[in-house]
Structure 1
């Protein structure tokens, strides 16, 4: 069974229906919905994680601090808060590919990755990524990890939220932090995707 059970169109339709119902019932206002969207588009989310990754790629001292204590290193950049109190970053290398899940629910580092995608919360992903990570990465995400590379699956919890420092792509040596951050995807920081080529 695929971890990506619902299409983006189905998800968008469900979100619109829920939004309309909440507004109709007086639970939320259009302004509140817009503000929440703005928060997750601009104040927390994958773009913040991407900026942390880009800094780690260009600043070896920061990278060492990030791998030692991700919460403290992110705080240096003004990134932190709810669901990001205890973060751990694991590094992808030529020999190790890391992937993140939460087998109990959907624990996830919101300050650096935003809200978890629906597939991350699906039982199919949560159960199967632990049992057969290579197959899930290949079949559901198009990421083919060679047999020579060890795959490590990290189980986030309410006490510890993991995320991935992806490998810096070849050919990106002359890019500045902003350009590097644009290459980083949310999925690459979960381990279910790779960084875009420059």
Structure 2
């Protein structure tokens, strides 16, 4: 079993709570920083913007994070083979 990062564990807990608690889901969509603070005690710095969106059966969101070089200067370019990533190659 793969070890999840703290961020992944928190994300899983937030999603689970949103599925189970319509009031929390509404709060999360309206003001995600307040919802996380009030429910999980997570305090995000003022300079961090957080947007919560809800997917549906027909609407999906692809989040494109900043490139590693924007976070850690002087990092090498990451090369991902599409076939390996999507499991379509052989």
If the length of structure 1 is used for normalisation, what is the TM-score?
Answer: 0.31
Residue in 2 that maps onto 1:154: none
Alignment of 1:8-157 (within 5 A): 41=5, 44-76=6-38, 77-81=40-44, 85-102=48-65, 104-106=66-68, 122=78, 140-142=85-87
Residues 33 and 44 of structure 2 are in contact (CA less than 8 Å); yes or no, is this contact kept in structure 1? Answer: no
The higher-RCO structure (CA 8 Å, 6+ apart) is 1
If the length of structure 2 is used for normalisation, what is the TM-score?
Answer: 0.62
**Structure 1 unaligned runs (5+)?**
1-39, 108-120, 126-135, 143-198
Alignment size in residue pairs: 75
Residue in 1 that maps onto 2:74: none
Residues 70 and 87 of structure 1 are in contact (CA less than 8 Å); yes or no, is this contact kept in structure 2? Answer: yes
Structure having the higher strand fraction is 1
Residues 27 and 35 of structure 2 are in contact (CA less than 8 Å); yes or no, is this contact kept in structure 1? Answer: yes
